[in-house]
Structure 1
Amino acid sequence: MNIKFSPSLMTMDLDKFSEQIGFLKDKVDSFHVDIMDGHFVPNLSLSPWFIEQVKKIADTQISAHLMVEDPAFWTDKLIDIGTDFICFPAESVSGIAFRLINKIHSSGLRAGVVLNPETPISSIEAYIDKLDKITIMTVDPGFAGEVFIKKSLEKIVNLRKEREKFNYHFLIEMDGSSNKKSFSMIHQANPDIYIVGRSGLFGLSDDIQTSWQEMIENFETETGVKVSKFINQE
């Protein structure tokens, strides 16, 4: 079982940017970058400029999670800088989903969609076969440290069944309060990618190496799955 971790860079220590990116770049499968416009959610966070800075010191895949009212505007900017995964909110793409997916694919990049806790899988059925990734929010979006919503895990289970039944190729990712308290529940739902933020990684210690080791130990203890055998720990 190849467990994939994707650190949420919104929750990293920005005063230790180079140190933390430099340590994590060879250990994780991707970096998760939240982009908020202050309208879709009442908060502002990272930007395409931030992604450009990450790309200067790491060739790790970057996944942009758009929490915006105008995903087409931001998609153009993310295409320009070669963002590996561009994931738009299902709630903001009515009438333009196919256009956005085709534009992303035509640029040689991968397209994803994000489902907030209240949004059903049925809302993306028209284009689910074209997606490269589906992110399931297990917290209300927009802020770090929100309450974990266990019921959202049912979507992960149902998506896996649908993927197997119809031979879809999308990855399944979970986003929200992935930490020692929830690792076991999340593991039972079996996503492909765990997004880890402040409570699961960056807030465990002032030292990123210590935080990383503790995160791995927490995951292995709570799930019974050894992930250190295929992740570079040095």
Structure 2
Amino acid sequence: MTQPAIHPSILNADQAHLGAELERVRNADGLHVDVMDNHFVPNQFGGPSLVQTVLAHTDLPVDAHLMITEPDRWATVYAEAGCAVVTTHLEATAAPFRLAKEIHRLGAGVGLALRPATPLTAVEPLLPEIDLLLLMTVEPGFGGQSFLEPMLAKIAAARRLVGERGQQLRIQIDGGVTERTIVRAAEAGADVFVAGSAVYRADDAAAAVATLRELAAGHAH
């Protein structure tokens, strides 16, 4: 089992003081940048310029999570900008095999995200093409939501599926990550955790990152 990774979500950071907010989480394993177009999800946030700003102010790997309707058109922009991983939603991606090849060619890792109601069977043929499977544990679009309990079974099923294939695939979860839910998600088999409110609403964000990582490591699948 790989070491658990904590990726704070900058959606929950104070955007007016982004440099300082990134500094607060310098002990994290990566940074999660949401991009929302107000079409695929009912909210608008981020874009290539924000990602470039984040990349210029951190040495941490950045994963861009594209919650947009035309990821086939835009994902390569984020790979070219220098993101470590570019994650698109299976539900919105028209040609996922071709896009995965293109993102890899540009030197980035390929992530594929599933909304809570999208079954794992939909992603199964694509597993050999990707580096990270993102299972949404809330309905995408807004920060601060509660973790959807039925997703624990989906995480466990994904980990079994990956294990059966002998694949080194990271399973990331995004939504409702707290000190309580991270333990259960780690037990189920997740190993990359997007944490927004749990980190940025803490008085000491770096301590919150360390605590979450410790809890996940202590209950790793």
Unaligned runs of 5+ in 2: none
Question: 1:57-92 deviations in whole A, cap 9, x for unaligned?
Answer: 212111111111100122132133122111110101
TM-superposed CA distance for 1:51, in Å, is 1.2
Aligned residues between the structures: 219
- Paired residue for 2:218? 225
Residues 203 and 101 of structure 1, relative CA distance in 2, 3 Å threshold: same
TM-superposed CA distance for 1:2, in Å, is 2.2
TM-superposed CA distance for 1:147, in Å, is 2.7
**Which secondary structure does the structure 2 equivalent of 1:162 belong to?**
helix
CA distance in structure 2 between the partners assigned to 1:218 and 1:80 by the alignment: 31
- Paired residue for 2:77? 77
- Paired residue for 2:116? 117
CA distance in structure 1 between the partners assigned to 2:25 and 2:217 by the alignment: 23
For the 8 Å contact 1:5–1:196, the answer to whether it is kept is: yes
1:62 and 2:56 correspond: no
**Which secondary structure does the structure 1 equivalent of 2:122 belong to?**
helix
For the 8 Å contact 2:86–2:109, the answer to whether it is kept is: yes
- Paired residue for 2:207? 213
Unaligned runs of 5+ in 1: 228-234
TM-superposed CA distance for 1:192, in Å, is 1.2
* Structure ID, larger Rg: 1
- Paired residue for 1:10? 11
TM-superposed CA distance for 1:17, in Å, is 1.4
For the 8 Å contact 1:71–1:93, the answer to whether it is kept is: yes
For the 8 Å contact 2:4–2:217, the answer to whether it is kept is: no
Question: 1:77-128 deviations in whole A, cap 9, x for unaligned?
Answer: 213312211111010124x011100100111111110011000111112211
Correspondence 1:124-143 to 2 at 5 A: 124-143=123-142
TM-superposed CA distance for 1:153, in Å, is 1.8
1:51 and 2:54 correspond: no
CA distance in structure 2 between the partners assigned to 1:24 and 1:64 by the alignment: 17
For the 8 Å contact 2:36–2:141, the answer to whether it is kept is: yes
**Percent same amino acid at aligned positions?**
26
For the 8 Å contact 2:24–2:206, the answer to whether it is kept is: no
- Paired residue for 1:230? none
RMSD over aligned CA atoms reads 2.1
Question: 1:128-175 deviations in whole A, cap 9, x for unaligned?
Answer: 111100001110100112232111122221121122211222211010
- Paired residue for 2:202? 204
TM-score (normalizing by structure 2): 0.91
CA distance in structure 1 between the partners assigned to 2:78 and 2:147 by the alignment: 29
TM-superposed CA distance for 1:52, in Å, is 0.7
- Paired residue for 1:156? 155
| Aligned AA (1:109) | A
